[in-house]
Each structure stands twice: as C-alpha cells, then as structure tokens.
Structure 1
C-alpha cells in the first residue's frame, strides 16, 4: 500500500468514527428541530398553576411537543374568553385553549371551531379510562370535543389549624357551628374569613351557600334549568341573607384582591377560614404549607355529601389541519394516568379517571375523589366556574350577586327579582 493510500485509509476510518460519535447528537438536534410548538391559551398564573404547566410542558417534550403559553391573567377566565374570541375572528386562533364548561364548549363545537377528538378517545380508551360523568361532559352531538385535565371541588372550607387550636375550636360542620366559631374568633381578635370582594369570588361563596340551603335539586332548578318559580323560593332568600350576613366576619373595608392573597392571609394566620375551590390547596402546598399541618380542609357547612365541581378542560381549535396530529398527541398525553396523577397532585384537584392512583393523593383529595365517584347524585355543576350554564347567564348572575353583596340598599327581594329576570332573558336567547 502506498503511503498516500494509508493516509487516505486513516482519514476514512477517523471520519467514520467521528460520524458514529456525532450521530446521536445529530439525531437529537433533528428531533428538536422537528418538535412542534402548540400555542395554548389559558388563565393559569399562580405559583401552583405554573408548576402544573411546567410539568405538562416537560412531559409533552417527551412526545416532541412544545407547550407555548398564551397567558391571559385574571384568575377567573373572563378575559381569556374575550381574547380567544377576538383571536379566532382575526384568524389568529391558538392551536389549544382552556375552555371550561360543557355549554360553552358545545357552542364552539356547533360553530365548527373545534376539532373532534373521537380517534384520540378511542385510542386512549376514554370510555373505560374516564369517569362516566366526565366522558359525557366532553361530548357534543356524539363527538368528543375536549380533553379533561382534572376536577376541582369548589365547596371547600379551609381553616388555619393553629388559630382554631388556640381557642380549642373544631372546624364547623353546619352554619350554627360556624356562627359560634366565628363569634369566638372575633371576640379573640382574630379575623374570621379571608375573602376578596372580587365578583367571581363573592359568587363562589354565594353558590356554596345556595347549595347548603337548598341542596342539589334546588341548586339545579336555579342555575341549570332556570326554573322561574325557584327564584322566588324562600331558600334563595335565606342564602342571600346569609351572604350579606357574612360581611360581618370579613375585615373592613372590603377589598378586591386576587384569590392568592386570601390564601396567603389564611396561611400566615391573618384569618382563620376561607371558602375557595381546592385549587387553594395546590397553592398552599406550592408555598410550602402542608395540609393537616398549617391548614386543614372540610366541606362548606351543610354540603359535606355534595361535590360542587369545576372541570379544567382543553379544546383543540380547528385550523387548516397542519396541527391536527400534534393536537391529538397533546390530548392523548394529558389524559394518561401518569400525567393525570402528577398534574392533579400539584394543582390541588382530583384526576378525571375511574381508577386513579389513590396513593398519590392527600387526605382531602382522596375523600373528594371517593365522593365524586359516587356519581351524579352528589355531583353539582358550579355556576361561577362555568359548569352549570352558558357564559352570558353566568356573567350576568355573577354581576347581580356582586351588586347585592357590595350595595346594602339592594334588598333580598330585589336580588331575587334580578336573578329571575336574567334567567328568563337568557332562557329565551
């Protein structure tokens, strides 16, 4: 062999070795380059919500998907709905959106704005995987139109364990006990209730009072079926009276503030109790406050056997079809048992599954899941959180309840009349 041939052979061997060493890097770079970005419009902005989104983003990257948040701050989703509509009208729709509530989802689906997830549901065996009520909730006219992430229990009463222990008080199970506990706390110089006067937060408190006063059937007559006679019922009057009476347990002046501020007040001992969905538990955990350590949870008095629910769901916006495969992959991923377990553990909610890993749940989540799993008799859709009715009715009723709460000159009878008018008007739309 000539010297030049030997040299060429050595170069060839070296190049081959370099190619083999570089191949994994090139493949990884190629995969990264091919990763598909999905814009996801949502309103999750708290510490725990960001942690939950980070988890989803990490897991989706395993499927070569990139979650790009389109955050609409505000906490209640009102702004998100407006932004989503405007982006769709401008031809700039995101690929994915948080769109809670079966009525709202159905309206979007009827307009042809959502991809169906029929193939995803079949591949993921959703009929066997998901809670029956959840499977029914994400369908419209025989098609699956949304992917459920988790179920929040709205009728949750949080309490500061140290403050109640200081006065040798147990968390209240009924409203008579609540009054006694609140009186003792106030006499001891402790703020009773951490409560913002933000409209959706007042409405959240109100709907738990309606549920406590009238039960599931009456609640459904009001906010799901919009039965005209129900709005004149004494039980609604009693719930409104109790809502107004709650003002004496809230530090003056009333302030509109984010729900996270109320959670912080409770955790730091600035108030003894708080009515909030169990997303409050996720936030307290994210800050390092432990359930059954710093704080505890019970059902809002009078609602222990009922689950007032909100379901976080994602929908896939229809486009030119280029993103369809990626959208399907996302929907399949977020309903997988592994992601359901870890996401809901962070978020404070319970999985949408028939048979979740109970070992990954804390005591309140296990109790909530077991209650929800009993079926439709205990499951009550939240008005405030878009489960019970359409957006127009929801927004108008939240506004009426808020006006009643902050304006003492609005009588109980007038508030009942306003709610009845809203129900009648939106029933005819």
Structure 2
C-alpha cells in the first residue's frame, strides 16, 4: 500500500510538473480585433502578421464589418471583463478615457534600447501619449483629403490634374463625353463626409477648418462657406454614375484602376486596392492631395490599442506586436501595401511615389488636422452625414436650407450642453 501511495504521489507530481511546464511554454499569441476587410487592407495587415510570426508568436485575428461595430464590441467586452489583447483603433480621446479606468496597458517607453519617442514622428508621439505614457501603438498615418487619378484618362484627354473644385467641374463634361465617369463615389455616409471635408478645406482654409470639429464651438459664422461647399457637393452628384448607390468605396477605387473612372476622393488607404490589382503608383494611377487643399493635410492615425490581460502568452504577444509593428522595414512594406505613410522616421526613397510625396509633405508642413470620421466630434459628424445624405438623395431643399437646418440642430445641441454644464456647476 505504501509503495502504491508513493508511486501515486510521484505520478501526480510528475503530471503537475508537466502541466506547469506546458503552461509556461505556451506559445506567445497576438490576439487582434480589426475592421480591415478589403483586399488591400488585408495585404497591409499580412505584412505585420508575417513579422509577428517570424518573431515566434501565433497571430489570431477577428474581423468586424466597421469602425462603429468594432468600437461598440470593444467597449462591451471591456465592460463584461473579457477584453481582447489588442484591437485596431483610430486614435481619439477614447484612449485617454480608457486609460483613466485602467482598461489600457501602457506600452514600454523603450524598444530594443531606443526611446520610442525618438522612433516615432513627433506629431504621432504626441497624439498617443499622456503624461509620458504611450497609450496606443501607432501603425500608419492615413491622409484623408487624398485623390486617386487614372493616368490614361488624363493623358488621353490632355487634362492637367485639377487643383480646385471649379476645375473639377469644368473638366467633367469632357471626361463624360469621352465615355468615362468623372468621379467615383460610394454609398457610405462616411465617404460623403470625406468628400465634403475636402471641399470645405478649400472654402474654409486651414484656420477655420481647424475649428470645425472642436467641441462647444458654434458653426454659425461658417454659414456662407458652408453653403458654397454644399453647392459644389450637389453638383458633384451628376458626375457620378447610376451604380453609385450600390457600391462601396473599395469597388469605387478599383474602377479608377480599371480606367472606368477619372478620379476618386478618398483616404489614401484606397490606393491599396490599386496596388492589390498589381498597378503601380506614378504609372497606371496618380495621387495628390484633393483639389483646393493648398498643402493642408487632413489625417487619421491607425493604431493597435493594447488592453489589460492577465495571460502571460498574451502579454508576450503584445510585446512582440510592438516590436514587429515599429520595425522600420515592416513600416515601409506595410505602408506600401496599405497605402499609408509610416509613423516612424524612414528614408523617403524607399516609399512609392504617392507615399513619398505625402511623407515629405508631412515632414515639411505644420498644416495638419486630425478629423477622420469626426473622431474629435462624432456627434457633429453625424449631423453632417445626415445632411449630406439628404443633399445627395433628395432634391426638396436648397443648399441654404440644408445648411440652416444643420446649424440649427447643432446650435440646439450646444445650448443643451451649456444648460447641463450650468446646472452641474450649481451643485
């Protein structure tokens, strides 16, 4: 009996040691939720995936249909105590709020002995840090007032790339007469937002555009340039094609690549769809800031937000993801596939002609504004999108009436907020 007990104890101890060893040896894992679903976007993510796997980690991804659904899913999982290890995130004020409730895991300030502050571009570093804590891992900068052009169409018709919206409208009849669609537009409301922002940049100029998405800032003084912008936006509708209501932004981009459409106003991520078609920037298609931008850049930063997790293999995966994503060679190849510009300091000549132009402009201008999808003021952005949807699909209101309705709704919201703040201050 004693021998049996002795053998049983040894067996149990051996099993326990084996289980402990197996647990300790569990492969590092990057668990990432994201909303990159189009072929070009997936090409970009695969660059990071391969870099993660080359560093010995498993890469597990979950795709969701949209930014809005990703955001609500992440908030829900954090609330229920089941946060993922990492999620794609557009850099916004939420990262600071999530840190305040200890949902985020601040990232190391050093990477391979180098200060991350010195690795990242200055503006990028400032946007993802608070009190010297790195709150999200930036992976790419996307320029939003960006336009793709089909080279053959403009060459065939001897047309210069337009530098104003007036020139876009003037060239449109020639393009239509030649059998091409002048402008590719998709059916997403946020795409209308991008297009209208590009128009407003011309009408407002940098200083006034900068005020546009500031919270608690009235828009009444912008009524006249808003009306001019709306007038241009409505004229653009006739430049699109009958299939526009049934097409997403990626299909619109591919129409440029197929020589069906002259131009598309979209974030530079649309370029990835053309690269995925084996087309070359500067050859089959051209890029520039949108007409009327005058060197001003509207941008968004894609990032991976690391959330608090307890499992060692997931924590190790977070470290590997950081190392992989900020590797300069990974940044270059990711940017070439994804259409973005790097968040790190790289040699511009390693980028394609489109990314190089944007990257060099980024380094040499202070006129940069982060407003993609209204992340700085999502409520106001939703008001714009509702108005733009009416303007595009309905014809029962003038441009002035649409703008007046927009301003009235926005003013009502501002007054409600002020009343609430006033009552709160009394307590």
TM-score class, shorter: 0.7 to 0.9
Q: Which of 311, 335, 340 is equivalent to 1:344?
A: 335
Partner of 1:293, secondary structure, is coil
Report the Cα offset of residue 172 of structure 1.
0.5
Residues in 2 aligned to 1:245 and 1:169: alpha-carbon distance in whole angstroms = 20
TM alignment of 1:8-407, pairs within 5 A: 34-74=26-66, 77-120=67-110, 123-230=113-220, 232-252=222-242, 254-320=244-310, 322=312, 323-353=314-344, 355-375=345-365, 377-384=366-373, 386=375, 389-407=376-394
Residues in 1 aligned to 2:326 and 2:93: alpha-carbon distance in whole angstroms = 21
Unaligned 5+ residue runs, structure 1?
1-29
Once the two structures are superposed, residues 347-389 of structure 1 have per-residue CA deviations (whole angstroms, 9 ceiling, x without a partner) of 1111012x312222111211111111125x3111124263xx1
Asked if the contact 2:121/2:343 (under 8 Å) is kept, the reply is yes
Residues in 2 aligned to 1:44 and 1:315: alpha-carbon distance in whole angstroms = 15
CA change 1:395–1:37 in 2 (3 A) is farther
CA change 1:229–1:288 in 2 (3 A) is closer
Residues in 2 aligned to 1:311 and 1:278: alpha-carbon distance in whole angstroms = 12
TM-score between the two structures when normalised by the length of structure 1: 0.85
Aligned residues: 394
Residues in 2 aligned to 1:107 and 1:397: alpha-carbon distance in whole angstroms = 25
Asked if the contact 1:384/1:398 (under 8 Å) is kept, the reply is no
Residues in 2 aligned to 1:31 and 1:124: alpha-carbon distance in whole angstroms = 32
Report the Cα offset of residue 131 of structure 1.
1.0
Asked if the contact 1:185/1:192 (under 8 Å) is kept, the reply is yes
CA change 1:53–1:210 in 2 (3 A) is same
TM-score between the two structures when normalised by the length of structure 2: 0.85
Partner of 1:93, secondary structure, is coil
CA change 1:247–1:378 in 2 (3 A) is same
Report the Cα offset of residue 214 of structure 1.
0.8
Asked if the contact 1:203/1:402 (under 8 Å) is kept, the reply is no
Report the Cα offset of residue 167 of structure 1.
1.7
Asked if the contact 2:213/2:377 (under 8 Å) is kept, the reply is no
Residues in 2 aligned to 1:120 and 1:62: alpha-carbon distance in whole angstroms = 21
RMSD: 2.5
203-212 or 172-181, larger mean C-alpha shift: 172-181
